Amino acid sequence: MPSDDLTLAFSLQALEKLARPKRAFEDAATWTSHIGIVSSESSFIERRRVREAGYQQDFLSGPRSIEETLSSLRNHFETERYVFVGTDETDGVVETVPDWTFQSVTDAATAADWRLGTTSATGDDWP
């Protein structure tokens, strides 16, 4: 199977840790089969933030927990790998979700050559 046979889910918190989250998201979209954002935020907040940032994605979590969303995505998208990019706060999420691998945003940024940010999500670098 091709190396891009991957479903990639970012947490909103992980994207906030990046200096250029939209650029990183767009880069990841070039080497994944399916990409999107999952969050424990309310659907309204998640959708607003995604719309404002202009992310072009294949899925959102909707009114479900991150775990429920990842399980649903596993059943919806058939790819060789499933990777959840999150933060220290979300590192235990995939323990109960079969076939998903957790990747810290720090490790993902290093591997993909993305810069981590030094400002909060409300700073000038968001998105």
**Widest Cα–Cα separation across the chain:** 40
pLDDT digits (tens, 9 = 90+) for 43-90: 888 888 888 988 989 998 878 889 999 999 999 999 999 999 999 999
Pick the CATH number of 6-112 from 3.40.50.720, 3.40.50.1000, 3.90.550.10, 3.40.50.10310: 3.40.50.1000
Exposure string over 42-67, b if 16+ CB within 10 A, otherwise e: eeeebbebbeebebeebbbbeeeebb
Predicted TM-score (pTM) of the model is 0.86
| Domain residue ranges of the chain, discontinuous segments joined by + | 6-112
Tell me the angle at which helices 21-29 and 105-112 cross, rounded to the nearest 10 degrees.
70
16 dihedral zone (left: phi>0; alpha: psi -120 to 50; beta): alpha
